[in-house]
Structure 1
Amino acid sequence: MAEKTDFDVVLVGAGISGINFAYRLQERCPDLSYTILDGRHEIGGTWSLFKYPGIRSDSDLYTFGFPWRPWSEQTSIAEGPLILSYMKESAAQEGIDKHIQLHHHIDKANFSSDSKTWTLEVTANGSEKKIVRSKFFLLCSGYYDYDNPLKAMIPGIEDFKGTVAHPQFWPEDMDYTDKNVVIIGSGATSITLMPNLAKKAANVTILQRSPSYVMSQAAEDGLERLIRKLTWWSKPVEHTLIRWKWLVVPFLLTRFAYNFPNAARNMFQKAIQSQLPPTLPRDPHFNPSYNPFEQRVCFCPDGDFYAALRSGKGSIETGVVETITANSIKLVSGKELHPDIIVTATGLTLQVGGGIAISVDNKPYSVGDHFIWKGVMLEDLPNTAVVIGYVDASWTLGADATAQMVCRILNRMKKEGVVEVVPRMSASEKAGMREEPVLKLTSTYVKKAVNVLPKAGATGQWRARSYYFKDMLMAWFGDIKTGMEWIREV
């Protein structure tokens, strides 16, 4: 018999996934009560946490923004403060902000098979202890650890006498004017930081062990300008067409890259070569060992990264650190760099569920030991969904596919008198299941998290999600019974 609960649904995290999920609950399941618990002082997730210069989206805002509140700025890539304002305005517009409890960190979460409820142990406002009970539990807390960045092994970094900063905890008072800055790392954060720091710094050097694909993206391209011109009579039509442009064109690009990797590689390399200064060779600095989208492709608005290289304020070095001394970085090649500031843009520590200690009937549950069902629910974890977005498209697209599927499941549960749904894999099925990565990236930070992330399977309902159009059809019409136990109230 299910016991009385405080809420039908508890969502963890008031970032892009949590706000979107709340909207879908209000839209599709209006009779369900819900709350969003977030440990931080404000909503926004990533866009509240990161404060480094130039922090911006690494995908277009027309699809990264909410489908129910179109992005109206005339730029496809936006900086963090603008995104944060958009999220706050969106939550307020729909009354979602009234359901958010900030400074509420969930320490433990236990599901009781007897009562069919989740019991959450919460620390509120730093010290107050609370118990919150719910029927359903939604993990919308993103995919990385907010408190602990990835600790890369950089020999001698502790001996450096200058300033060392990590983008995840950027010092608000850092003055880099006329300083020599070295950024260790080659991902999207480095590509964002370099042109922004170069506006004031004497020189900014990206030091990378291996190169990445860095592609320019127009803040507003010709097709978007044409759409705006032709749809002057209707903003909704304009927003719809531009959003569809950003759904279709990147989709075609990624499919092309997956199916014709050599042709895609050549296309990307020609685009990169055309923007490099004549004195900077493409090989080795811009000749990745992998094909496009095997790791995340970095995008820079209006080519600001390449503009910084051409100006001479930005530079790039490819090599391995031998050691760092009090005032230098020595490379294995014998070359030395002499920075005033070192920025360790070495990646994120991946984490599912915000570090909550999860258990079922007081038995600890390890996410990394289990498979994920349809990219949405975790094997043997009742009444729980987890939001994991795409790595080759906007995160929000995957988050919305998850939200719509879960709302469909919740409505079916109500219709059929079901109080518990839990993905199950038979022993024989599990023994024969080939494991696949849930995030299909070869990046170092993803490889290091292989025991943290759930596993995808190679067949059936356990395959990793694929792409937005297919996943939306699965959310609306797909099989939600196979591989799942539906338990009715006794």
Structure 2
Amino acid sequence: MKTLPQTDDFDIVIVGAGISGIGAAKYITEAFPGKRVVILEGRTNIGGTWDLFKYPGIRSDNGLHTFGYEFKPWTDPDAIAEAPKIVDYLQETLDEFDLNRLVRFEHSVEHASWSSAEARWTLDVHTPDGDRRITTNWIFAGTGYYRYDEGYTPPFEGREDFRGDIIHPQHWPEDYDYAGKKVVVIGSGATAVTLIPSMLNHAGAAEHVTMLQRTPTYVVPWPKVDSFAQLLSRLFGEKRGYAMTRFTNIWTDLGQVKFMRAFPNLTRKIIRRVNAKALPEGYDVDTHFNPPYNPWDQRLCLCPDGDFFEALSTGAASITTDTIDRFTASGIALESGEHLDADLIVTATGLNMRMLGGIDLEVDGTPIHLPDTVAYRGALLSGIPNLAISIGYTTSAWTLKVGILARYFCDLVKHMDVFGYDSVRVEADPGMERRPIVDLSSGYAQRARDVIPKQGTGLFQMSMSYQQDAKILRGPLLDDALVFGSTTDDAAPSTAKEAVCV
């Protein structure tokens, strides 16, 4: 007779102990001190992206005064911080709010099955001690939208001929020695812009690093230390100064994005002027820093204190804008006929997207195909009961969304508790116009169009504005898209006028 795996029962299961999961846990445990809550983390440490990626210099590309939590001030002088500092900040959050007790490491959720008859999810979880079964009323998915077990590398002809090392940044070997090597970094995004100066700014530096890009990216120097934030903290104290800095930066970021999108040609000229000023006189700015798309059609890259431009100015780094013909034994042959010699090739060619950490979902025995679902308020997915998702912003700090989304989630659960409901699902108009939830021209977004949920119109629009989301998530809690259910006869009628988010 087959032995069933051990079963644990919870009220809310949070999947992922990264930025989103830890932030959500703080709000949820504060709102529901009596509920059974657990955080399932598939890896051996907290931090998600910030613990997984080990490539040189990995850092935030947003200021930590908005990337950090609303409820916990970021006190380090560096506003743009490297990954170890971010992980330390997350650990401090766990310690300060007594959340360590909730985390179960090396618990990977493989499958989740919803039963309407029981109003519960059954999770099949893989652990080092064997498979475990966990049941819960709610799942809160703080899994992000990247696939963490593999990055994206396009096929390169002749790859097997290259005699050096080929590394994708997502799988950078710890303590890898690149001292004295000629390095070619393929790619022009945030990872490449971060890697290049980091590989040159210490004793074991590379001999030379070349950025090989097919298409330029907008790159802007940015102060690593936010002097205004430090001033506010000195004048008004740590907590109040942080709140003022956060408020100021939220609105400043919004203004910058709106300006760039409203005046793309002027923005191009401003960024070009900034780039030209940061580079040696006569540098070919128009070849290497002139993207074919408008600002914020893709993310801008920030380089703290202009370190990327400094590396180019010293000659230790260079940019080649060209197309790859093939890899050779000693480097890369380009379609222009040029050859780049290399001992190490870094394929900073992007990431793959994957929702919900790749968990297989089914509802009442029917498998869920995520591209058929539509996001509602950026928090729930149509046709999937009692499952919340946390997806941050592409035009501002990811963490900004966590607070308002978690409060909406808590208000929704409170409403259900008061009126005796144990399930809620979203119904979307089948005729509504739909497009992917991450609607960017970036390669990773285009590759994922057929594997991620969709967004629609109205409350089904996936907002990329904190201000717009704040109105949506703090507005009337109920509307006709939400359908509540109960496995008992005790539930009271629910109308759209009964509750408002706070």
State the TM-score, normalizing by the size of structure 2: 0.93
Structure 2 SS opposite 1:145: strand
For residue 26 of structure 1, what is the aligned residue in structure 2? 29
Instruction: Describe how 1:289-308 pairs up with structure 2 within 5 A.
Output: 289-308=292-311
Q: C-alpha separation between the residues in 2 aligned to 1:478 and 1:275?
A: 49
Instruction: Describe how 1:239-388 pairs up with structure 2 within 5 A.
Output: 239-388=242-391
Q: C-alpha separation between the residues in 2 aligned to 1:455 and 1:374?
A: 12
Superposition deviation, residue 390 in structure 1 = 0.2
Output one character per residue of 1:415-449: Cα deviation in whole Å (capped at 9) or x when no partner. 11111100112xxx322x22233113110111000
Output one character per residue of 1:270-296: Cα deviation in whole Å (capped at 9) or x when no partner. 212211222421111100111111101
For residue 440 of structure 2, what is the aligned residue in structure 1? 441
**Structure 2 unpaired stretches of 5+:** 1-6, 489-502
For residue 11 of structure 1, what is the aligned residue in structure 2? 14
Stretch deviating more after TM superposition (288-297 or 23-32): 23-32
User: 1:485 aligned to 461, 480, 483, which one?
Assistant: 483
Q: C-alpha separation between the residues in 2 aligned to 1:65 and 1:476?
A: 21
Stretch deviating more after TM superposition (269-278 or 186-195): 269-278
For residue 463 of structure 2, what is the aligned residue in structure 1? 465
Code of the aligned partner of 1:153: P
Q: C-alpha separation between the residues in 1 aligned to 2:151 and 2:158?
A: 18
Contact in 2 for aligned 1:15/1:45 (Cα 8 Å): yes
Superposition deviation, residue 221 in structure 1 = 4.2
Contact in 2 for aligned 1:369/1:451 (Cα 8 Å): no
> Over the residues paired in the alignment, what is the CA RMSD in angstroms?
1.5
For residue 215 of structure 1, what is the aligned residue in structure 2? 220
For residue 62 of structure 1, what is the aligned residue in structure 2? 65
Superposition deviation, residue 49 in structure 1 = 0.2
Identity of aligned residues (%): 38
Superposition deviation, residue 396 in structure 1 = 0.5
Contact in 1 for aligned 2:232/2:242 (Cα 8 Å): no
Stretch deviating more after TM superposition (221-230 or 402-411): 221-230
CA separation of 1:72 and 1:369: change in aligned 2, threshold 3 A:
same
Superposition deviation, residue 156 in structure 1 = 1.9
State the TM-score, normalizing by the size of structure 1: 0.95
CA separation of 1:226 and 1:69: change in aligned 2, threshold 3 A:
closer
Code of the aligned partner of 1:476: R
Contact in 2 for aligned 1:265/1:292 (Cα 8 Å): yes
Q: C-alpha separation between the residues in 1 aligned to 2:183 and 2:478?
A: 52
Q: C-alpha separation between the residues in 1 aligned to 2:130 and 2:151?
A: 27
User: 1:138 aligned to 140, 146, 150, which one?
Assistant: 140
Instruction: Describe how 1:17-96 pairs up with structure 2 within 5 A.
Output: 17-96=20-99
Output one character per residue of 1:186-205: Cα deviation in whole Å (capped at 9) or x when no partner. 11000000001123111001
Q: C-alpha separation between the residues in 1 aligned to 2:228 and 2:139?
A: 42
Contact in 2 for aligned 1:371/1:455 (Cα 8 Å): yes
Aligned length: 479
**Structure 1 unpaired stretches of 5+:** none
Code of the aligned partner of 1:178: G
Contact in 2 for aligned 1:368/1:455 (Cα 8 Å): yes
CA separation of 1:173 and 1:72: change in aligned 2, threshold 3 A:
closer
Output one character per residue of 1:100-153: Cα deviation in whole Å (capped at 9) or x when no partner. 00011111100011111000011111x511110000011111111111111322
Q: C-alpha separation between the residues in 1 aligned to 2:477 and 2:9?
A: 31
Q: C-alpha separation between the residues in 2 aligned to 1:5 and 1:202?
A: 55
Contact in 2 for aligned 1:166/1:345 (Cα 8 Å): yes
Structure 1 SS opposite 2:357: coil
Q: C-alpha separation between the residues in 1 aligned to 2:437 and 2:402?
A: 15
Q: C-alpha separation between the residues in 1 aligned to 2:193 and 2:148?
A: 21
Stretch deviating more after TM superposition (32-41 or 269-278): 269-278
For residue 230 of structure 1, what is the aligned residue in structure 2? 235
**Within the alignment, does 1:202 sit opposite 2:204 as a pair?**
no
**Within the alignment, does 1:408 sit opposite 2:411 as a pair?**
yes
CA separation of 1:117 and 1:19: change in aligned 2, threshold 3 A:
same
